[in-house]
Amino acid sequence: MNNQRRLFSLKMRASQQNRHISGAERIVPEECVAATAGELVSRAMSHSKGQPDFVNVKIESADQPMELPALTATTREAATPEAGWGIVKQLLAESGFRRVDEIIGLFSQTYPMRGAMLLDADTLERLEPDRERGVRATYMDAADSSKRTAPTAKNHFSEALVLATKVVNTPGIVGEICMSDDPDYVTGYVATKTLGYVRITCLKRRGDPAGGRIFLYRGSKERVSETVEFLQCRRVLVTGVPSSPPTKTETAAVDPLSELDGELDEIRRAGLWRSVRVSPPQLQSFADNDYLGLSEDPRLKAAAVAAIAEFGTGSGASRLVTGTKPPHLQLERHLAAFKGTEDAVVWATGYMANVGAISALAGKGDAIFSDELNHASIVDGCRLSRAEVFIYRHNDLDDLSAKIAQAGPRRRRLAVTDAVFSMDGDWVDLPRFLELCRANGVISMIDEAHATGVMGDTGRGLCEHFGCGHPDILMGTLSKALGCEGGYVCASRMVCDYLRNRSRSFIFSTAPCPATAAAADCALTILEEKPGLVLVVRNKAAAFAALLAERGMPVQSGSAIIPVMVGDEKRASAVSQALERRGFLVPAIRYPTVARGQARLRVAISARMEKKDLEALADAIAEAMRETAQD
Ligand SMILES: *Cc1c(COP(=O)(O)O)cnc(C)c1O
């Protein structure tokens, strides 16, 4: 190397209305400065993100740069972001990082930052002095950059390799994870001294403008400033940078479970992580579907205890073998009488009732018409049936009619809808639904999980609410207003016989615990004796809706379910957490329970709640919404 030759650093950045568009930097010998400056400017002027209204080229001396050999580059193929993040995780774990899930969980926090997060790899403390900007790595280039051709075509690969080489050789830094913010560039990388530079061909979906970077740090906190100084000021020339990425992909066997892990990371990064927990007893729950407060009723408890004393804790076998005990038959007779049908069949859960009934009623070649917001158990029943499924727009019976016409004649056709929709609290226009089915010879089915005990003057459901006839299949659950668990179908004797002979989730699953059946039977008796309970819950729900409207949050109501729309998943979680800090348990309902971007709070009202509880919650929701408005 000719020591006489002086080196200069050139840094270009371009913006439009103060918004960053592009940036690049070089370190070149004196005689190339003018030409390089020209290249950088023309690159700035022709960027795909738009024409800049401001371009700055800064030229400084860059003598005595540190020379570093380029990291060895390899490529790992990933077909999906889930697979890609699985590889990231595997690589980090193999490199000895311990809290890999948490590290990746923090990645989305770097999206808004221009620079990188500087993260203590062991304590996960964030060490970057400026959290908004992050730490930048700058003053670096490939040693022979001035000899390269096509300088205006941004070469993601070699620029990233240069950067990663500087970063990984920085004192205190032990690794880097990077995903570009270029919406068209989905390749990202992980770099460490031992792994080298590992390109991963897919870390995000095409068109996604998110991008970020984490520098992993290991060392004492006193030396962080040295690290930052090196990253931001030390001149570095990287030797041996190949001009194109390695095409040969490493074929080391991928742990088949790492893809699951990658998918979990996607869930974390999207703010959709869910976990099971016992709801803290100090919180007041607005999440239960225990609309009438029966799940804690001493009479139900006593009925269950008595049944356990008489029949034990398990049924011993499926209903058709030896599992049927007197409480099962008693409950089925009672349900049929309550709903006014000839017969009823009970399953262990509502989910099993839907899956088992729908898949028995329709098969290959048949047609099922299903509202787009139907409960997941209906959706799964449709899938399991292998019938052709026609999804119609939510509560749009014109669309249902069109779909029936489109399906044409079939051996069997079944239309199914939630009576009251579980996440929105609205309901189907049942008389019209029934008329449409009848006129077209379509079997009608409704799911009264949220209607039984809530709708109609005496809680008999949507038929009572409208004063109309019954659908062919009246499905419901014992797990919501009735305070127990289980699912049922009320229908004609013939339909019920058919289900007992054809529904696989009835036939091949152990009968529900007799105690549950006895408790549910008791709940029906209470409802028959005190139908006024139904009005209590509906009036409280209406009062709560009015309280929200007074606070500037109009909501629809009429059932016991009050959705408070938020939209963004992360904000919905933040509102829910803010409510939790105030002592209220109100879950954020997010994708996949509802569509993406439709996240909400779901408030379930119970007859048990007092007016002051409802006022306190309405105030808390208003505050939490204000608090999270910026995020
Ligand atoms: C809760 C629910 C079910 C499932 O009932 P489980 O008894 O909880 O299994 C079915 N359909 C709807 C509409 C529901 O809300």
Active centre residues (catalytic):
422, 450, 480
Each residue of 184-214: pLDDT tens digit?
Answer: 889 999 999 989 999 999 999 998 889 999 9
How many beta carbons lie within 10 A of that of residue 420, not counting itself? 26
Q: Which atom belonging to ligand 1 lies closest to the Cα atom of 450?
A: 15
Domain range summary for the chain, segments of one domain joined by +: 7-61, 66-269, 284-293+532-629, 296-529
How far apart, in whole angstroms, are the C-alpha atoms of residue 429 and residue 433?
A: 6
Each residue of 6-26: pLDDT tens digit?
Answer: 999 999 999 988 888 888 899
Give the pLDDT confidence score for residue 182 in this predicted structure: 85
Ligand 1 centroid distance, CA of 311 (Å): 27
Q: Which atom belonging to ligand 1 lies closest to the Cα atom of 354?
A: 10
Q: What angle do CA 386, 391, 395 make, to 5 degrees?
A: 140
Q: Which one of 275-284, 403-412, 552-561 scores highest in mean pLDDT? A: 403-412
Give the pLDDT confidence score for residue 593 in this predicted structure: 83
How far apart, in whole angstroms, are the C-alpha atoms of residue 570 and residue 603?
A: 18
In CATH, the architecture of 284-293+532-629 is Alpha-Beta Complex (3.90)
How far apart, in whole angstroms, are the C-alpha atoms of residue 344 and residue 470?
A: 14
Measuring from atom 7 of ligand 1, which residue has the nearest CA? 350
How far apart, in whole angstroms, are the C-alpha atoms of residue 427 and residue 418?
A: 7
Determine contact, residues 212/118, Cβ cutoff 8 Å: no
Ligand 1 centroid distance, CA of 416 (Å): 14
| CATH code that applies to domain 296-529 | 3.40.640.10
pTM for the whole structure: 0.66
Q: Which residue has the tokens 């709801």?
A: 279
Which segment of 167-176, 268-277, 401-410, 448-457 scores lowest on mean pLDDT? 268-277
- 350 pocket-lining for ligand 1 (C-beta < 6 Å): yes
Using the predicted structure, report yes or no on whether residue 270 has a pLDDT greater than 90.
Answer: no
- 487 pocket-lining for ligand 1 (C-beta < 6 Å): yes
Using the predicted structure, report yes or no on whether residue 84 has a pLDDT greater than 70.
Answer: yes
Judging by DSSP bridges, how do beta strands 487-491 and 117-120 pair with one another?
A: unpaired
Q: Helices 326-339 & 514-529, crossing angle to 10 degrees?
A: 30
Q: Which residue has the tokens 């990663």?
A: 164
Give the pLDDT confidence score for residue 1 in this predicted structure: 47
CA distances from 429 to 419, 423, 465 (A): 9, 17, 11
Determine contact, residues 105/265, Cβ cutoff 8 Å: yes
Each residue of 496-542: pLDDT tens digit?
Answer: 999 999 999 999 999 999 999 999 999 999 999 999 999 999 999 99
- 351 pocket-lining for ligand 1 (C-beta < 6 Å): yes
Determine contact, residues 470/341, Cβ cutoff 8 Å: yes
